[in-house]
Amino acid sequence: MNNEELQNKRHSLAHLLAAAVMQLYPNTKRTIGPAIDDGFYFDFEFSNPISEDDLPKIEKKMREILPSWDKFERHELTADEAKNEYPNNEYKHELIDEFTSDGSKVSFYKSGNYWDLCRGGHAESMKSIDAESFKLTKLAGAYWRGDSKNKMLTRIYGLAFNTKEELEEHITMLEEAEKRDHRKLGASLDLFTISDLVGKGLPLFTPKGALIRELLNEYSQGLRLAKGWQRVWSPHITKNDLYKTSGHWAKFGDELFLVKSQETSDELVMKPMNCPHHQQIFASRPRSYRDLPIKYMETTTVYRDEKAGELMGLSRVRSITQDDSHTFCTPDQIEQIYQELIDVTKTFYETIGMKLRARLSFRDPKQPEKYLGESELWDKAQNILLNIAKKNNLDYFQAEGEAAFYGPKIDFMAKDAIGREHQLATPQLDFVQPMRFGLTYTDDAGQDQTPVMIHFALMGSIERFLSVYIEHTAGNFPVWLAPAQVTVLPISDNQLAYAQKVKEEILTHIPNARVDVDVRGESIGKKIREAAGQKVPYMLIVGAKEIEASTISVRGRGEADLGSMSVLDFTNKLQNEIENKL
Return the number of other C-beta atoms located less than 10 Å from residue 117's C-beta. 21
**Which of 487, 488, 486 is CA-nearest to residue 543?**
488
Amino acid found at 124: E
Query: Which one from 208, 326, 359, 514 is the annotated catalytic residue?
Result: 326
**What are the helix (H) ranges across 149-300?**
164-179, 182-188, 207-225, 240-246, 248-252, 275-282
Judge whether 468 and 414 are in contact, CB under 8 Å: yes
529 is catalytic: no
* Known active-site residue 63: no
Q: Is 509 a catalytic residue?
A: no
* Cα 496 to Cα 493: distance, rounded to the nearest angstrom: 5
- C-alpha 178/C-alpha 161 separation (Å) is 20
To the query of whether residue 409 is one of the catalytic residues in this protein, the response is yes
DSSP of 275-310: HHHHHHHHTTS--BGGG-SEEEEEEEEEE----GGG
- Please give the distance of CA 306 from its chain centroid, rounded to a whole number: 14
Annotated active-site residue in 30, 304, 422, 472: 304
What is the C-alpha to C-alpha distance for residues 58 and 510, in angstroms, rounded to an integer?
61
Decide: 420 and 404 in contact? Cβ < 8 Å.
no
In angstroms, rounded to a whole number, what is the distance separating the alpha carbons of residues 33 and 345? 38
Q: Annotated catalytic residue: which of 155, 275, 295, 503?
A: 275
C-alpha span between 580 and 582 (Å, rounded): 6
Please give the Cα distance from 119 to 62 (Å, whole number): 22
In the set 9, 15, 182, 409, the catalytic residue is 409
Taking alpha carbons only, the member of 295, 325, 361 closest to residue 460 is 325
Selecting among 61, 208, 455, 472, the annotated active-site residue is: 455
Cα Rg of the chain, angstroms: 29
What is the rounded distance in angstroms from the CA atom of residue 161 to the CA atom of residue 173?
A: 14
Q: Which of 43, 116, 323, 324 is catalytic?
A: 324
Residues whose CB falls within 8 Å of the CB of residue 34, separated by 6 or more in sequence, listed in order = 11, 14, 40, 41
Contacting residues for 158 by C-beta, under 8 A, at least 6 apart: 13, 14, 17, 39, 40, 41, 134, 135, 136, 137
326 catalytic? Reply is yes
CA dist list (Å): 425 to 87, 519, 554: 50, 43, 37
Active site residue 455: yes
Q: Kindly state the helix (H) or strand (E) to which residue 548 belongs, with its residue range.
A: helix 544-549
What are the beta bridge partners of residue 366?
none
Query: CA-based angle 399:4:39, to the nearest 5?
Result: 100
Among 7, 221, 279, 322, the active-site one is 322
Question: Minimal CA–CA distance to 59: which of 26, 12, 28, 13?
Answer: 13
Helix-helix angle 207-225:334-351, to 10 degrees? 140
Residue 277 is among the residues annotated as catalytic for this protein: no
Whether 546 contacts 564, CB under 8 Å: yes
Distance CA 470, CA 466 (A): 6
Per the CB < 8 A criterion, the answer to whether 235 and 352 are in contact is no
If one counts every other C-beta atom within 10 angstroms of the C-beta of residue 40, the result is 25
Calpha distance 573→578 (Å, rounded): 9
Whether the CB-CB separation of 542 and 552 falls below 8 Å is answered with yes
* Catalytically active residues, by annotation: 275, 304, 322, 324, 326, 409, 455
